[in-house]
Amino acid sequence: MTNFSLFLLITSVCVVQPRFSADEASTFNSSTIRELLISSFEESLQFIENSSDHYRQRRSTSRAEPDAQGVSRAGEVFHAALQLLKDKAKQKYKRNFTASALLSEENVELLAELSLCPAATDPDLCEQSRHNKYRTPTGVCNNRRNPRWGAANTALVRWLPAEYEDGEGEPKGWNRERLHNGFQLPPPRSVSREIIRSTCKWREDDYSQLLVDWGQYIDHDITFTPQSVRRAAFWTDVDCHKTCKNVHPCFPIETEDSLCMPFRRSTPDCFVTSGSDFHRVLQRQQQNSITSYIDASLVYGHTLQLEGTFRDLSGLSGKLAINDRFKDPNGRSFLPFVAKTLSACHTDQQGERVECFSAGDSRVNEVLTLIALHTLWLREHNRIAEALRLINDHWSPEIIYQEARKIVGALHQIITIRDYVPKIIGLESFEHHIGPYRGYDPTVDASASNVFATAAFRFGHGTIPPILSRLNTSFQEHEQYPHLRIHKSFFSPWRIVKEGGIEPTLRGMIGTAAPTVRANSLLAEEVTEMLLVLDTHQNMDLASLNLQRGRDHGLPGYNKWRNFCGLTQIKTLDDLMEAVGDGRVAEKILNLYKHPDNIDVWLGGLVENFLPGSRTGPLFACLIGKQIKSIRDGDRFWWEADGVFTKQQKNELLKASLSRVICDNSDIQEIPPEPFRFGKYPSDYVDCSEIPSMSLEAWREEKSQDLQLCGLPRPIKNGDFIFSSQSGKLTALYSCYHGFKLEGAAEIVCEGNQWNNEAPRCTCE
């Protein structure tokens, strides 16, 4: 901490209006609060490892692209200081205090400033023309009035108030003897073992495994909640991997052998502005570190830095970077490797080492199916970019990149909302909760909600199969690369490189029926007993992690969410049996939870009877439908919104399908027309030549008269330009790649028969 910062803190802390009794107020004065706040802030800085260099840098109040690590550390410092302050007050006065009882709004704003919590983005910044044509990588300025809505590194929104044991941050189950509705909450591991774990999973005939895998893939385009930057407990320095005590940020999961599974709490948010909801600011809120929009950010990254990492900037082609060491057996490209050598991924012991793959989302290596889908979209971007370059030879590499990115984002939206969501929530729920598109609505906040990210969209965990199928060209088990137990596919990119490329895995996704989900057959043992997490040296339990995460985030219980969705409350065993459809499972749940209001929302939603033609019950159908509608309606760049694509381009986009993407970017030549539906080979398959293709001719752009007169603007090193004509004149808008700053005119205009200014330069920051 700098001397200047400490001086600022000591001299600027505002007088608190204490919320105490008359006797306490006589001793607990503003001077005491000041001392406690100062010491708490100083200690909280020390608790954040490797933070000194970061916190020496003063934040610009107009920063529009907050750094993910910086936002996480700021939240840790802010909330650590609040917890320390409450602990110090408790030690001094022998009773518990809330932060809102101790601090004024001015105190909180100052603490946020010193913690380097992100500042508000000035809406005026969003009026610049460069934010009108293409998305920003971070999602900032998608909504011009509220620039942070849907943006990366912002808080998950609350549709219902958080429920913490202390009202501010301690999750349900933190104080293990505390009663809820007269009863202790059951440990998540007990719920997993007695209700959720399934020794076998049956397959259904309606949908393919690809439906399951697309759900995981598109979830990674919408939400990512980072865990605490600290691996050790605050104030005690106890390693979260070794303690069984609840001490921030450690919230371990009790196991049946009196041991525990490690669990670190999600990173807290600390966005504070003048006029913020005081109570909400002091409550623990969790971050979404990626954009909430369906924008293919998992392909391109959600920051300027990540975007620059994945682009092939040296090729001047508008393409994405590819692997420079390996290609598949037919010469197709793989994803690039992470920069770090000897990465954490598993590798084959024979032959050349294969590192973790790198993509716009860091979870790409979790399972082979994710790697396969990421690889498809890398290839699809480069295929489109190459076609656009040939069609429009006057486009700069930046225009080619942005237009290809825009098309790929639109394809993600179409496949998700046209082909995927109706199968998940059912056509009737789709019409009720989502309905037809009526245009962009700037009053809609597209941000991902906490309950969607932490519970509702985790419904798919019940459809994870115990076996990952790998099939040959006849869609039978592959002779060289047989099926794998699912845990054998975790973090194993070497299997893609050395075991036939992505095709055996893709065929397995297409040609295998999806597992069923029933109240008595929820999660496979492969993920409740053998889940692999890279930084943990023991097998984990996905069901326990989900339940604990919901409590960590302060999610209200199942009944509160049923009420939110207009569903009847569960009051008796008969009510629960009707909702679940399995009397034995309903009895088990009430025997464990004792009271219907104690049931965790993820479990309650997971065991509900499916709606007709869906894979979810009424609660998750409501929550997923509400979220998808807000993401669609609140996205200024949604593919159907006015001015995003021409009518001709929209018509071509509607011809697109995931089947076509697979045909164009793999060696698979036969495929079902609807790949999310399970079909028998060969009767339900067609040749790829029968799958409609979109024509990129709809993106042909003839040279304007102005461009013919002025000629192409001069290219610049470490940057590029796009065209705009919003001012009525042809304008070249220049920008620099990450790590460089612009010197000179950012915009030059074609006037008469020449550009009115010299092209700028990009210099190192």
The reply to whether 54 sits in an annotated binding site is: no
- What does 74-95 look like in DSSP terms, one character per residue? HHHHHHHHHHHHHHHHHHHHSS
Closest C-alpha to 114, from 154, 189, 192, 58: 58
Residue 109, both tokens: 């704003």
| Encoded amino acid at 408, one letter | V
Cα–Cα distance for residue pair 156/120, rounded to 1 Å: 16
Residue 509, both tokens: 């996704």
Closest C-alpha to 610, from 435, 416, 418, 428: 428
| Encoded amino acid at 530, one letter | M
Distance of CA 256 to the CA centre of its chain: 32
Instruction: Classify burial at 584, counting beta carbons within 10 Å of its beta carbon; exposed 0-12, middle 13-18, buried 19 or more.
Output: exposed
Residue 707, both tokens: 């461009």
Instruction: Classify burial at 751, counting beta carbons within 10 Å of its beta carbon; exposed 0-12, middle 13-18, buried 19 or more.
Output: middle
Residue that the structure tokens 């009794």 belong to: 21
Distances (CA, A) of 342 to 356, 455, 515: 9, 35, 35
| Encoded amino acid at 272, one letter | V
220 flagged as catalytic: yes
Q: Cβ distance 345 to 356 under 8 Å?
A: yes
Cα–Cα distance for residue pair 656/675, rounded to 1 Å: 13
Cα–Cα distance for residue pair 101/546, rounded to 1 Å: 32
**Bridge pairing between strands 197-198 and 523-524:** parallel
Residue 209, both tokens: 């495994």
SS (H, E, C) 310-339: HECCCCCCCCECCCCCCECCCCCECCCECC
CB neighbours (10 Å) of residue 63? Answer: 15
CB neighbours (10 Å) of residue 338? Answer: 19
Distances (CA, A) of 726 to 128, 132, 278, 396, 644: 11, 9, 41, 18, 14
Q: Cβ distance 453 to 624 under 8 Å?
A: no
Residue that the structure tokens 């408790």 belong to: 90
Residue that the structure tokens 């807290």 belong to: 268
- 541-578 b/e with 16+ CB inside 10 Å = b? bbbbbbbbbbbbbbbbbbbbbbebbebeebeeeeebbe
Q: Cβ distance 270 to 108 under 8 Å?
A: no
Cα–Cα distance for residue pair 180/680, rounded to 1 Å: 51
Catalytic residue among 220, 346, 478, 487: 220
Q: Cβ distance 321 to 312 under 8 Å?
A: yes
Distances (CA, A) of 480 to 328, 466, 513, 543: 16, 20, 22, 33
Q: Cβ distance 749 to 731 under 8 Å?
A: yes
Would you call 701 helix, strand, or coil by DSSP?
A: coil
Helices (H), 447-539: 450-454, 494-498, 503-510, 525-528
CB neighbours (10 Å) of residue 200? Answer: 9
- What does 205-216 look like in DSSP terms, one character per residue? EEEEHHHHHHHH
Annotated binding site for heme b: 461
Active site residues: 220
Annotated binding site: 461
